[in-house]
Structures are given as C-alpha cells and as structure tokens.
A = this chain, B = another copy of it.
Amino acid sequence: MNQDNFRKITPYVPGIQPGFSDMIKLNTNENPYPPSPMVGEASKNFDAGSLRLYPSVDVGPLRDALAEYHGYDRECMFIGVGSDDVLATVFQACFNSGRPVLFPEITYSFYEVWARLYNINTCKIPLKEDFTIDADAYIGVDNGGIVIANPNAPTSVAMAKSEIERIIKNNTDNVVVIDEAYVDFGGESVIDLVKSYDNLIVVRTFSKSRSLAGARIGYCVANPALISVIEAVRNSINSYTDNRPAIELGVASVKDEDYFRATIKKVVATRERLADELKKLGFRVLPSSANFVFAQPPAGISAVEVYEELAKKHIYVRHFNIKGIDNYLRITVGTDEQIDTMLSEVGRLLNK
C-alpha cells in the first residue's frame, strides 16, 4: 500500500496497567475509593432493555444535572467521553488561527499530542524554578489560545485564582482553557468566572474526585457561543458519545454531594500524611493540591531506581522520562494501607 495514505503520529502513553492481583496501583491517579453507593444503586436499577435505543443526543439528563450543580444553563455545558475527549474536541474547535497556543513546558503531556494531531502551533512556556506557573509569561504574548492545568500535572502545584483571572482578562481575543481535572482536591476553581468571561473554558472530569474513571465522563463549562462551536465539531465526528450507563451513573454521582465531599476529605488527609512521611524520608515533595504528590528522592537514589524497585514489588508509581522532571516520581494517593506498604518499601530501599 502507499504509505502516504497513513497518518504517522506518536501517541500519548498512559500509565501501564499490569494485571497482577496483588498490585498496588498508584500510577494513573485513580481514586482509591469506590463511587457513591447511589451509583451502585443506579447500576443495579439500570434498565438493560433501554440499550436498544440511542442515548439522548445531547446527553440530556447528565447535562441537566451538571448545569444545575454548577448553576449554569444547559447551553453552557458540553459532555464527553472523559475530559480527554472534551479537551481533544476543544483543541479541534478553538485553536485554528495558526498562531501558537501557549501552555506550560511541564504539564499534561496530552496537550502536545493533540496539538500535533490537529497541526496546531504551540509555544511551551517554562515553569518557574519552584514549579509554579508564571502568569506574566502568558500576558502580552501573541497567541492563538492558552491551556493551563490547575492544579498542574504532573507537578500537583496549584495556581491562585486571581493569577488565572489575570491571564483570562488579558487574553480576551482567544480562548483560555483551564483544565480542572484535579481541582476538587484543593485547587481554587475558576468555574464561576465563565459568567464574566466569554473566552474561558473550564474542563472537569468524573475520573478522579468522583471515582468514575471506568465510566468515561468529562465535561466543560463555557459561554453558549463557545459551546456551540465545540458541539458542531463533536457532531461532525460522532452523534452519540456518552452511553446510557454513563449518563445514568453520572447523574447518580452528581446527586450524592455528601459522599463526594467525604471521599475527597479522606484522600486529602492521606495525601498530607504521604507528603509528610516522604519528607521525613528525605524526599523533596512539591506542595500538592491534587490526588497525587510529585516527589524527588533524596541524594543517593534516583527516581528511576525507586520506580523500578517498587515495580518489582508490584507497586506502580509513575516516572516521566522528561527533562527537568526525570528525577521525580508522581505517586497517586491510595488508601492508607496502600500508602503504608509503599512507604515501608521506600524506607527499606533507603535503609531507613
């Protein structure tokens, strides 16, 4: 066959998913706790007979539930198959000017993959030395859009809402995407700023704080004019995306605010303990507002060595072979028991 037919591209590589039954999986930022019991209830009551029909074309009930939850009209909501699907659609829909789209040099590495896929020019802005994002570097710069993860990944470091607002209001010609995948664990959300800025898109996911990674639900909130641009692209790819189970289980999750808050509280408490213990072991730990920590091992052992030794014990954390962070590990907050096992293994490695 003619090879010129084929798109050549280097895809994003997610954390490995080995199948060991005894593994401790701290490498994809999943929630260690199950979703709300109301989700379990909705699953038990799900009418499999309804599957013969397509889902509602605009993700009706889930869109309504999320609109009500955030206090926006349904016209401000767009739902997709995880926040990756939402972000990919936003990239396709909103970054077509030819001017470079700005995002941090160290951030969620899928941004660069989507930019390559859709032939979007980019300009990657270095983080400050303390791994924070420098708002000034995004102001007064010619651009075709801005993408910022808050808290940032894989650093776990959050940005102040006032700083993000400064970026948004100084870039009103172009779209500013704030990816709030981890915001529920301690970041300051800018979702209320959608009321004030028609160039802001705030992206959220059910995969982390709502313990629904396996349901594939993400969404964004933006001005209705922006949402309709995103929807036109979506409806040029696939008319129906979130399936009936995702819609019903998603609605159940949104309705159980108490469980949601309680689960976040547990994860945050474990995170703080994890950070403290790692520091005691000599790690440098960045201040985390997410459900993971980003940590550099003490002198004498490299991040790769820790990663490999833990993997031998079927404990999986994430290492990125990326300049500037290649001596760090991203460790998902698991249950207290998982974290204790991991910490004692790390202590053993360090002879402590």
Write the residues of chain A forming the contact surface with B, with a CB cutoff of 8 angstroms.
Answer: 1-2, 4-14, 17, 25, 28, 30-35, 39-40, 42-44, 46, 48-57, 81-82, 84-85, 88, 92-98, 113-114, 116-117, 144-145, 172-175, 198-199, 207, 211-216, 229, 231-246, 249
Contacting pair B52 A237 (CB below 8 A): no
Contact B50 A214 (CB under 8 A): yes
Q: Compute how far the CA of A7 lies from the CA of B96 in the bound complex, rounded to whole angstroms.
A: 6
Task: Report the bound CA distance from A246 to B82 in whole Å.
Answer: 14
In the complex the two chains form, what is the Cα distance from A54 to B94 in whole Å? 28
The answer to whether B14 touches A114 (Cβ under 8 A) is: no
Copies in the complex: 2
Please measure, in the bound complex, the distance between the C-alpha atom of A216 and the C-alpha atom of B245, giving whole angstroms.
10
**Which residues of B have CB within 8 Å of A117?**
233, 236-237
Instruction: Pick from B42, B84, B212, B229: contact of A239, CB below 8 A.
Output: B84
Tell whether A199 pairs with B114 under 8 Å between CB atoms, given A57-B17, A212-B52, A245-B215: no
Closest to A244 in B: B214
Write the nearest CB–CB distance from A174 to chain B, whole angstroms: 6
User: Which of B5, B55, B249 lies in contact with A216, CB distance below 8 A?
Assistant: B55
Residue in contact with A199 in the complex, picked from B1, B10, B33, CB distance below 8 Å: B1
Do A39 and B48 have beta carbons less than 8 Å apart? Answer: yes
Whether B5 pairs with A54 at a CB distance below 8 angstroms is: no
Instruction: Report yes or no: A239 in contact with B14, Cβ–Cβ below 8 A.
Output: yes
Q: Which residue of B lies closest to A213 (CB)?
A: B54
A28 touches B43 (CB 8 A): no
- What residues of B have a CB within 8 angstroms of the CB of A240 in the complex? 14, 82, 84, 213, 216
Given known contacts A232-B7, A240-B216, A245-B243, A1 and B198 CB-to-CB distance under 8 angstroms: yes
How far does the alpha carbon of A176 sit from the alpha carbon of B216 in the complex, in Å? 31
A selection of 23 A-B contacts at a CB cut-off of 8 Å is A4-B97, A4-B98, A12-B235, A17-B56, A25-B53, A28-B54, A34-B48, A34-B49, A39-B51, A43-B43, A51-B211, A51-B212, A51-B214, A52-B211, A52-B213, A85-B241, A113-B236, A114-B236, A213-B240, A215-B245, A216-B243, A243-B243, A245-B249
CA distance A40 to B17 in the complex (A): 28
What residue in chain B is nearest A94 (Cβ atoms)? Answer: B5
Q: Within 8 Å CB of A95, what residues of B? A: 5
